[in-house]
Structure 1
Amino acid sequence: MRRLENAFVTLNGTVLVLGLMAMSVVLGWNVVGRYLTGNSLTWADEVARYSMIWLTFLGSGLALREGAHAAITNAQEALPSQGQRALRALILLVLLGFFAFMVWVGIDYMNRMAVQRSAALRIPMKWVYAAMPVGFALMIVHLALIAPRYLRAGLQHPEETALG
């Protein structure tokens, strides 16, 4: 199971790196073209904008996994260990419910945008808005994978676990 989880995390990270590289190449090409020839790619801004939207949602699960989202831990740390575990279980349930709700809302919104097309690329906006349900579905998977460790000990940052 651990190998499958590592493969999933690696694949998620690789997709992010490749997406960021592609976005950088398009934007770099556009800047160079604008200054060397006086012309720019008409679709480059859209590609950059939509890539950034997708990269944000695709990376949110990895950020969740690393504890990089905003969190208030003072109340949790003030509780005894059983209370901490109960609070973490409640947090997991609330997050799971919120992520599932956002997948549902994202699919609904994505379907509402199916008839609209982007200005330059002329792609259905449905594919741009698909980033939301896909990203929240990935967050559900990441949450499910880290839930047992989180319930036992909370989120351990890499530098904390290295120090013991």
Structure 2
Amino acid sequence: METFETALMRVNRGALVLLLAAMALIIFANVVLRYTTSESIEWAEEVARYLMVWLTFLGAGPVLRYGGHIAVENLQDALPAQAAVALRGLIALILFAFFGFMVWFGVLYVERAQFQMTPTTQISMAWVYAAIPVGGLLLALHMALVLRGYLQSRSFASDDHFDANASASL
């Protein structure tokens, strides 16, 4: 399972790096061209916007697994240990229900938008909206991988599961 988790994180992080790099490169090139030639890349803003959508949905899972989303923890801290565990279990169930909602309605949204084309690049909006169910699936998967630690002690993942040599080579 640890090998799967490590591979998932590497692929997820790699996709995030590629999306962010592509977005930054497109915007940088567009700004340079606009100021040096008074012309801009016609499709740059549209593509950067859609890359940002994908970046947001693909990045939500790793942020969740490290406890980076906003949380109100005062109630958990005030409760006895067993009640706090039960509350975290309820929170986890609500989160999984929301992730299921994202996947279900995301797929419906993709189906409904499949014939709508983007204004400039003329690609199907289904490719853009596919970020919703993919992000929901990744959120559920990341949550499942950190669920035990979250339920027991409200602990989240760290980079401990990565090979020290691989981290040093980055």
How many residues get paired? Answer: 158
Q: What residue number does 2:121 align with?
A: 121
Q: Which deviates more from structure 2 when the two are superposed, residues 47-56 or residues 28-37? A: 28-37
Match of 2:52 in 1: 52
Q: Deviations over 1:109-150 (max 9, x none)?
A: 111111110011100001101111111110000011010111
Question: How does the TM-score come out when normalised to structure 1?
Answer: 0.92
- Are 1:64 and 2:64 counterparts? yes
Distance 2:128 2:112 in 1: 12
CA deviations 1:78-122 (Å, max 9, x no partner) are: 111111111111111111011101110111111111111001110
Q: How does 1:71-82 map to 2 (within 5 A)?
A: 71-82=71-82
Aligned counterparts of 1:148 and 1:6: Cα–Cα separation in 2: 17
User: Is the CA contact (8 Å cut-off) linking 2:96 and 2:140 kept in structure 1?
Assistant: yes
Structure 1 residues without counterparts, runs of 5 or longer:
159-164
Tell me how far 1:155 sits from its aligned partner.
2.9
How far does residue 156 in structure 1 lie from its aligned partner after superposition?
4.5
Q: Is contact 2:149-2:156 (8 Å) kept?
A: no
**RMSD of the alignment, in Å?**
1.2
2:147 corresponds in structure 1 to 147
Identity %: 48
Matched with 2:37 is 37
Partner letter of residue 92 of structure 1? A
Pair 1:18 & 2:18 matched: yes
- TM-score, normalised to structure 2, is 0.89
User: CA separation of 1:46/1:38 partners in 2, compared to 1, >3 Å: closer, same or farther?
Assistant: same
Instruction: Note the alpha carbon deviations across 1:51-84, whole angstroms, 9 max, x for none.
Output: 0000000000111111111111010111111111
2:97 & 2:19 partners in 1: Cα distance? 29
The residue type equivalent to 1:10 in the other structure is R
Q: Give the drift of 1:157.
A: 7.9
Equivalent position amino acid for 1:121 in 2: T
Query: How far is 1:5 from its partner?
Result: 0.7
Equivalent residues of 2:65, 2:157 under 8 A apart: no
Read off the aligned partner of 2:89 and give its amino acid letter.
A
Match of 2:93 in 1: 93
